[in-house]
Structure 1
Amino acid sequence: MSKVIGIILAGGEGRRMVYRNKGLMPLAGKAMIAHVIARILPQVDALYISANEDLEQYAIFQLPVIQDMPQWRGKGPLAGVASVLKELSDDDVIQVVSCDGPMIPDNLVALLSAARKDAKMVYPTTKDREHYLYFQGKVGDLREIESILVANDLRMRTFLAKLGAKAVYFEDEMAFLNCNHPEDIQRLEEIIDEEL
């Protein structure tokens, strides 16, 4: 039987965050990635962190931390996904999430899984935009990711289009709110305070 494996992408450079590691930035008293882990862990059978810096700090969360394969370093989120795929079987299903999206829905995996019956890959969309870094797909259908990396075609949108990914509509625009700029953290703090 296939397992659902979560992958938290935490390997970015954080350029828009003044080169600070977004997953480790404080949000409501704990690291941002801790909020993501709390949301995604109950939805998956196993969870990995894809990271290239601050490995000791990520190890505190007692989850496997996988670095990008040397030949794919600096090639973005696809490199992180490809490096974790090396650990998985073709029957497994991956659910990718971003380390800076602490509001992901508690039913993300279930809703995307239901929609995946009609497509190899699925990802959420909301009224204003598509959220490519939250895609779900079967590992066996993702093996061509390596040839895409070799071709240096690194855009997530292009990758998902090549695999015929289907967008799945989510009503809650805030569910995929992420932190690309320091002021986004303050906005998220206010939202989290209102929820508590």
Structure 2
Amino acid sequence: MKQPLGVILAGGQATRMGGGDKGLLPIGGGTILSHVIERLEPQVAGLALNANGDPTRFSALNLPIVADSIPDFAGPLSGVLAGLDWAAEQGASHIVTAAADTPFLPCDLVPYLMLAAEGTNIGLALASSPNGRHPTFGIWPVALRDDLRTALQAGLRKVVLWTDSHNAATADFPNDQSFFNVNTPEDLAKAQAML
């Protein structure tokens, strides 16, 4: 398997944070998103951001912005599909996704996901830690994008329902804190302290 492309999922509505872009909130001399980029970019062959609305608000990042093709904020799977469609245009076979609100994501995320995916016939795997699976952190084969599009158009929204139907592997990570995500102002304060 070649080095996958990376897609940061930032297409949600951030309702628990009062709306807006959680990834652009300041933390430790940068933004949450700048920390995610710093950790993910060295692990992938190229990087894009899945975001909806006006893409110019992310222009400082110098990343391709890919919007959901499924309307009405259909959830993370819609962002995965947008990433898979972008990757298909680049001729890539896989993408790795990460959530835009997780500033401490593992610096070895991609190799462990690739290793787990190699044990499957289609190359699909999700990250897991002692707290459970992390469905926004996965490696996804471009070959399944039409299957995913059909499932989304039929109303499927739960990531694990779709990944389980394809016998996704699991890449186990020992540290729950790597997947700490910022959902509330309290979480932001906690992340600042963790830094």
Distance in 1 separating the partners of 2:2 and 2:132: 30
Query: Deviation above 6 Å: which 4+ runs of structure 1?
Result: none
Pairing partner for 1:155 from 148, 151, 158? 158
Distance in 2 separating the partners of 1:138 and 1:123: 12
The one-character-per-residue Cα deviations of 1:104-133 (angstroms, maximum 9, x if unpaired) are: 111110111111111231111111221010
Distance in 1 separating the partners of 2:71 and 2:149: 9
Q: Is the 8 A contact 1:73 1:79 kept in 2?
A: no
The one-character-per-residue Cα deviations of 1:148-188 (angstroms, maximum 9, x if unpaired) are: 11111111111111111122211111110101111011111
Structure-1 residue corresponding to 2:68: 68
Q: Which residue type is aligned with residue 42 of structure 1?
A: P
Structure-2 residue corresponding to 1:84: 83
Structure-2 residue corresponding to 1:138: 141
Aligned residues: 191
More displaced stretch, 47-56 vs 104-113: 47-56
Distance in 1 separating the partners of 2:143 and 2:72: 23
Q: Secondary structure at the match of 1:72?
A: coil
Structure 1 unaligned segments of length 5 or more: list them: none
Distance in 1 separating the partners of 2:139 and 2:81: 14
Q: Is the 8 A contact 2:11 2:73 kept in 1?
A: no
What percent identity do the matched residue pairs reach?
28
The correspondence of residues 38-117 of structure 1 with structure 2, limited to 5 A, is: 38-69=38-69, 71-89=70-88, 91-117=92-118
Distance in 2 separating the partners of 1:11 and 1:33: 13
TM superposition shift of 1:11: 0.8
The one-character-per-residue Cα deviations of 1:43-74 (angstroms, maximum 9, x if unpaired) are: 000101000135212121001011112x4342
Q: Which residue type is aligned with residue 78 of structure 1?
A: L
The one-character-per-residue Cα deviations of 1:69-117 (angstroms, maximum 9, x if unpaired) are: 2x43421111122123222237521100000011011111011111111
- TM normalised by structure 1 equals 0.91
